[in-house]
Amino acid sequence: MNHSTKSSLLEKIANLTKLNSKFHKYQKDKINQNPEVIISSVQATLIYQGEINQNNNLISKFNRQINLKQTIGEQANLFLNGFYMNFYLSPKDKHYWRIPYNSKSISTKINNGKAKIPIITGLERFFPKTDFFEKSIKRNASIGSVFQTKKFPYAMIAVGSLNVNSIHTIKKDYFNKGDIGGYFNLGSSMLLCFPETPKLIQLIKPKTKVDIGEGILNIP
């Protein structure tokens, strides 16, 4: 059985009208299979790269702190002093994701969220004085999953833009790079979290648009 956030009446209507299927229809993606490369799991724009401090807090673009434990649980300790990459999916982007590297599934944490209106990560571009990222992480539905590669752990946090449509992840013990990992019925962002070591080499900069399967990090 797959992991999912709660569904709603609006989601059922969106399913009946086939609106949701248009968002997450799987396509044939070109996957960079270089074993030294971590790929982008989503078609999206990297809008921010932030730090994870020694208290398990994500440091947002506005220097606000969001505790990582609330999205992935006790496994947050694996990412002390590490970093995260925040990818924003526009309505035109593919709304499914693939696994960025060969890895074993460790844990999954479902957060159904409490937001009553859409809170969309990425709106900081239009309202620069408001930290929509902080609001969306704390109030929107999300699924946080932790994986272990041969050399390091990483986490994927799928964040919905609203709570009336759900997020679904595929439940497996082991994934190969490029395997389908899940989909949004309507989503806003994907966070990838990495540990302090090894020092991964960044291949893209903020504001870069990437497709699923493109290289985003090099493993030294």
- What is the predicted pLDDT for the residue at 140? 76
- What is the predicted pLDDT for the residue at 1? 47
Where exactly are the structural domains of the chain? 3-218
- What is the predicted pLDDT for the residue at 36? 97
Q: Taking Cα atoms as reference points, which of 208, 111, 94 lies closest to residue 158? A: 111
Q: Judge residue 69's burial from the number of C-beta atoms within 10 Å of its C-beta, 0-12 exposed, 13-18 middle, 19 or more buried.
A: middle
Q: Given CA atoms 217, 83, 98, 29 in this order, what sign does their dihedral have?
A: negative
Q: Taking Cα atoms as reference points, which of 164, 168, 115, 140 lies closest to residue 8? A: 164
- What is the predicted pLDDT for the residue at 43? 96
Q: Six-digit token pair at 167?
A: 């997020």
Tens-digit pLDDT profile for the chain (220 aa)?
475 555 554 555 555 555 555 556 788 999 999 999 999 999 999 989 999 999 999 988 778 788 999 899 999 999 999 999 999 888 889 989 999 999 999 999 988 866 555 555 656 666 666 666 666 666 677 899 999 999 999 999 998 865 445 788 999 999 999 999 998 876 678 999 999 999 999 999 999 999 999 999 999 9
- What is the predicted pLDDT for the residue at 115? 57
Spatial separation of the C-alpha atoms in residues 23 and 185, rounded to whole Å: 6
